[in-house]
Every structure is written in C-alpha cells, then in structure tokens.
C-alpha cells in the first residue's frame, strides 16, 4: 500500500535505502523533477531538485538518472544536460541511454512497426492541427499528442481520432496515455526495461524510482526488495511512498542525501 511521506519525518524505508552499498536514484522528469507546463519543451527541473540531484551524484557509489518518455535529444534539452554531466539518462521509455563517460547508446532490438514513423506523422499531423490547443510531438520511435492547452472536450475528440488512425494503420504500435498526452511507439519497451538496464549497468543494490504518471507504473512494478518507489501526486500506484509535488520530491531527495552522507561516514 502506498503511504504518504511527510517532509521532516524519519522513514525506515528511506533510511534503509540510504545505506545500500550501490544506489541508483532514478527520476521521471515531467511532473516529478519539473512541474507540468503548457509548453513541453519549456519544462525545467526545479532549482531545489537540481541542487539535490547534483549533491547525490557527487556521493560515492551513487548514480542519478533521469528516466523519461522523451526522445533523447529532447530529454537532454529539458534537463540542460551537458557532455561532461555525471547524470545518466534513459529516454524513449527505456530504449535510448546516455551514460557518464560513454555517451549515447541504445537498448538494441527491433522496432515493432507496420509502417514508418514518417507515415504516421504525415497521417496524424493534419488531424492534430484541426484541434485548438493540441500539439504534435515528434519522437525517435513514434509520436505524442499533447493537450495541456486544450479543453477536455477537445482532448477527447483528438485522442479518439488519433486512436482510430493508429488502430487502422499501425495496430501493433504501443499506446501510452498519460497526463494530457497520448503517445504511440514502434518499440515495446517501457520504464521497467530502464530499471533493469540501470540496475545491471551500475550493479545497483538499491534503486529509488520516482514518477507521477501511468507510464511510471511499469517501473514501480519491477522494483524489488531493497528498492523504493515514490509516487508524485494522486492515482493508484505500486509505489511505497507518495508525495504531493515536485517540491516535495526535492525535500525527499534532500532527506535521502542527508541519510546517505551519514551512512557513508
């Protein structure tokens, strides 16, 4: 059962995670490190989140990663990520990776597609353009439709048309629905794949994963003993802890950094 975490209070699960020998802190970006904003490419991590991310990444045997559905190019833009960064990235729901000291890599495997990405774009964009407030997002392995500027009726109508298009022409593409966004991908991987990749890559003995959306539950469900899931905001979740906002994520990361610093002394 998911239980609330209150800043300033001790938590046995967080304290146990802080003492794990090799820790990976994996964070969704939109709605977790950053508030949700009307313009997707305007998203940026809260300064207080960035401060704690940098603090954690500087600790021994501790890795921080952003895990997002964004394509790698866009993820690097919104995270303000540089080539000398100590922060790992997992983009496209666990298909694309960037590792410190190595750079870009991917998960390998084959796309599951009945047509090309460009064909989907060409068919979908005229539909999206008819609806005020709906925005098209190109992705490396598919596309997204954002409706943060649209009213609920418009969202329902544009999503219904795009769903019908994909069912007819790209029936095996993976569908994901999130907060004011509908996504389709020719790849089947989810954030569960990212958890497995990060665990293996960094030989993690414990993972903290925090996320706010339905797609983040793929990652929550594969966390095991010694890991800790954190849900941001409302909704059913397999996470252990729940916080209200990205501001509380910053407070939780600060508590984790404090505990880990003490445990390593």
Per-residue tens of pLDDT for the chain, all 265 residues? 899 999 988 899 999 999 999 999 999 999 999 999 988 899 999 999 999 999 999 999 999 999 999 999 999 999 999 999 999 999 999 999 999 999 998 666 555 555 688 999 999 999 999 999 999 999 888 999 999 899 999 999 999 999 999 999 999 899 998 888 999 988 888 999 999 999 999 999 999 999 999 999 999 999 999 999 999 999 999 999 999 999 999 999 999 999 999 999 8
pTM: 0.87
CA distance 220 to 199: 14
Written as six digits, the tokens of 193 are: 């794949």
Instruction: Give the separation between CA 121 and CA 136, rounded to whole angstroms.
Output: 9
Of residues 29, 37, 49, the one with CA closest to residue 89: 29
Cβ pair 115, 170 in contact under 8 A: yes
Rounded Cα gap, residues 183 and 170, in angstroms: 13
Look up residue 176 and give its two tokens.
């994901």
pLDDT for 116 = 85
């Amino acid at each position: 059962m998911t239980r609330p975490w209150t800043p300033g209070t001790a938590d046995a699960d967080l304290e146990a995670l802080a003492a794990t020998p090799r820790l990976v802190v994996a964070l969704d970006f939109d709605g977790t490190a950053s508030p949700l904003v009307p313009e997707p490419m305007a998203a940026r991590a809260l300064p207080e989140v960035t401060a704690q991310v940098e603090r954690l990444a500087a600790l021994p045997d501790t890795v921080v990663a952003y895990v997002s559905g964004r394509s790698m190019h866009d993820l690097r833009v919104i995270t303000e990520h540089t080539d000398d960064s100590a922060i790992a990235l997992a983009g496209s729901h666990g298909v694309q990776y960037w590792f410190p000291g190595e750079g870009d890599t991917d998960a390998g495997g084959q796309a599951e597609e009945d047509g090309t990405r460009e064909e989907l774009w060409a068919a979908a964009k005229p539909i999206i353009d008819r609806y005020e407030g709906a925005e098209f997002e190109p992705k490396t392995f598919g596309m997204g439709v954002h409706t943060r500027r649209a009213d609920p009726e418009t969202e329902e109508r544009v999503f219904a048309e795009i769903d019908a298009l994909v069912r007819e022409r790209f029936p095996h593409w993976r569908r994901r629905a999130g907060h004011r966004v509908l996504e389709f991908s020719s790849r089947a991987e989810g954030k569960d794949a990212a958890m497995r990749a990060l665990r293996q890559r960094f030989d993690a003995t414990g993972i903290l994963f925090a996320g706010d959306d339905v797609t983040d539950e793929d990652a929550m469900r594969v966390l095991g003993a010694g890991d800790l899931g954190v849900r941001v905001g409302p909704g059913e979740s397999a996470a252990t802890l729940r916080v209200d906002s990205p501001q509380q994520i910053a407070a939780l990361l600060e508590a984790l950094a404090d505990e880990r610093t003490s445990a390593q002394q």
